[in-house]
């Protein structure tokens, strides 16, 4: 029996640059959700919030401002220290919204936000379940399973895995056989990322996710 999809979801990745922003944009579009990235590190070519906002067509949603916006593209703790800022977890609060909410993390689970606080700590503090973004590269099975183990060690609910780009049946089988975590969707890679692309991926994700959850 399918259960309801949680109203707030944290999108994290098995590594940096595995497609969290594209997946977050597609999920935001698919679920008619709001979007929020609590910590942005690096914005010379624009923030992830600006990218997502430019890709959405759904009306009546909000792309919420970051709690911390750091210029240097580096691990957030280092960016913050270089800019004379300390990221205070107590200043990071879920936006007030009645819509569904997609929350995009910075890098992977073990990325430092300050010297004593990691992305996985933020997820635990916010008390929201996770969608894990995975990608097919040498070592990604290991990174995916380690991420699942880390989340389970903190008793954080895992909604499922979304794969970015090509992924082999062998990869999916091993990850599911070992972890029991379902693939709930995938997005294509290597295409021009524009509104039409995000709409197409959103439609596919909505169909895929509805096999496991009521929307």
Specify the pairing of strand 130-135 against strand 8-13.
Answer: parallel
Catalytic residue among 37, 69, 71, 211: 37
Q: Count the Cβ atoms, other than its own, within 10 Å of residue 215.
A: 12
Residue burial 89-111, b: 16+ Cβ < 10 Å; e: rest: eeebebbeeebbbbbbbbbbbeb
Tally the residues of the chain. Answer: 215
Question: 211 catalytic, yes or no?
Answer: no
HSE-up of 139 (CA within 13 Å, CB side)? 4
Report strand pairing: 112-114 vs 117-118: antiparallel
Dihedral of CA atoms 44, 53, 144, 164 in degrees, nearest 10, equals -100
Write the CB contacts of 39 (distance below 8 Å, at least 6 apart in sequence). Answer: 66, 67, 68, 70, 76, 87, 92, 106, 113, 122
Q: Which residues are catalytic?
A: 37
């Amino acid at each position: 029996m399918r259960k309801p999809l949680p109203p707030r979801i944290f999108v994290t990745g098995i590594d940096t640059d595995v497609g969290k922003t594209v997946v977050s944009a597609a999920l935001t579009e698919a679920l008619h959700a709001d979007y929020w990235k609590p910590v942005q590190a690096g914005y010379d070519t624009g923030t992830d919030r600006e990218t997502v906002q430019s890709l959405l067509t759904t009306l009546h949603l909000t792309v919420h401002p970051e709690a911390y916006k750091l210029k240097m593209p580096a691990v957030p703790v280092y960016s913050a220290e270089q800019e004379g800022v300390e990221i205070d977890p107590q200043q990071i609060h879920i936006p007030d919204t009645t819509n569904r909410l997609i929350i995009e993390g910075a890098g992977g689970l073990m990325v430092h936000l300050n010297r004593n606080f990691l992305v996985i700590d933020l997820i635990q503090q916010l008390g929201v379940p996770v969608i894990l973004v995975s990608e097919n590269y040498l070592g990604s099975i290991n990174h995916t399973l380690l991420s699942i183990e880390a989340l389970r060690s903190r008793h954080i609910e895992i909604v499922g895995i979304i794969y970015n780009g090509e992924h082999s049946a062998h990869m999916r089988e091993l990850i599911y056989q070992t972890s029991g975590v379902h693939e709930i969707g995938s997005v294509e890679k290597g295409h021009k990322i524009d509104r039409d692309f995000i709409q197409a991926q959103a439609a596919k994700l909505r169909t895929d996710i509805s096999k496991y959850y009521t929307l």
